[in-house]
Amino acid sequence: MAETILVTGASAGFGQAICRRLVTDGHRVIGAARRIEKLQALQEELGEAFYPLQMDVTDLSQVDLALASLPKAWERVDVLVNNAGLALGLAPAHEAEVADWLTMIQTNIIGLTYLTRKILPQMVERNDGYVINMGSTAGTVPYPGANVYGASKAFVKQFSLNLRADLAGKQIRVTNIEPGLCEGTEFSMVRFKGDEKRVEALYRDAQAIQSEDIANTVAWLIQQPKHFNVNRIEIMPVSQTFGPQPIYRGD
């Protein structure tokens, strides 16, 4: 059955791949992002099943205006994919830029929760809907330099689980997708602030997850019967695994 699906962060990376896959599957997709020219180019590619919506999730008043601007035929949102998010910097906490922390909190936490709060009432009223949040393995596995980014993704994981608790008795599904190392997106270029050498070093000789892998995961989740809920789905490339915790000893 065709659904109307709102995807944030739709101008590149995961979001763009998710939009392409869902339109291919026969759904109608509202692609939301700041860069309207990227969305318009995607609309030319995908056709009338794709609606471009300029929206910056960090600007709450703009979120309100963007949602209010949707044509009546696009007002119903069956599935919300909270994909917009970012990491900035990889410095230890005592050296990190506070401005970077605030941007991550505003995007990964406040933007995600506010948009969810705006869309959720219509799902509750219909007793039908699906919220898919984009988390990260960083929300579970700490590593040096992840500090606020990892904490923000831990928030997304716990928010997703608590939504399930709040929605007890409602036919509304909630899933947190938690990817590991992913390539072919703007994520690392943003994180390293345009340092191409650091980005190249990160992915060198590693077969990382691709955007299409995440898009296929979202499509699979939506295809499942509505009585079936995946609370969390953690995805890592085979090239990435776990390691021992370091122990630093005195002289």
| Domain range list for the chain | 4-235
* Rounded Cα gap, residues 20 and 146, in angstroms: 30
Percent of the chain with pLDDT strictly greater than 70: 94
Instruction: Provide the pLDDT confidence category of residue 199 given band limits of 50, 70 and 90.
Output: low
Are 179 and 209 in contact by the 8 Å Cβ rule? The answer is yes
State pTM to two decimals.
0.93
Alpha helices in 34-146 (DSSP H): 36-46, 60-68, 98-104, 112-126
Identify the three-state secondary structure at position 5.
strand
CATH class in words for 4-235:
alpha beta
Measured torsion, CA atoms of residues 219, 17, 139, 111, in degrees rounded to the nearest 10: -100
Q: State the pLDDT at residue 177.
A: 99
Q: Residues 147-184: pLDDT tens digits?
A: 999 999 999 999 999 999 999 999 999 999 999 988 76
Q: How far apart are CA 122 and CA 223, in angstroms?
A: 21
pLDDT digits (tens, 9 = 90+) for 108-122: 999 999 999 999 999
Q: Are 10 and 57 in contact (CB under 8 A)?
A: no
Structure tokens at 55: 């929206």
For residue 181, with 0-12 CB atoms within 10 Å meaning exposed, 13-18 middle and 19 or more buried, which class applies?
Answer: middle
Mean pLDDT of 177-201: 74
Residue 59 reports pLDDT greater than 80? yes
Res 192: pLDDT = 65
Q: So what's the pLDDT on residue 191? A: 67
Q: Is the dihedral of CA 56, 138, 129, 7 positive or negative?
A: positive
User: What confidence tier does 1 reach under pLDDT thresholds 50, 70, 90?
Assistant: confident
The mean pLDDT of the chain is 93
Taken in order 56, 60, 6, 15, the sign of the CA dihedral is positive
The catalytically annotated residue of 114, 149, 203, 248 is 149
What is the average per-residue pLDDT within 41-55?
98
Q: Cα angle vertex 15, ends 74, 162, to 5°?
A: 80
Q: Residue 105: what residue type?
A: I
At 195, the pLDDT band (50, 70, 90 cuts) reads low
Query: From CA 100, how far away is CA 98, in angstroms rounded?
Result: 5
143 is catalytic: no
Candidates 121, 134, 133; CA nearest to 174 is 133
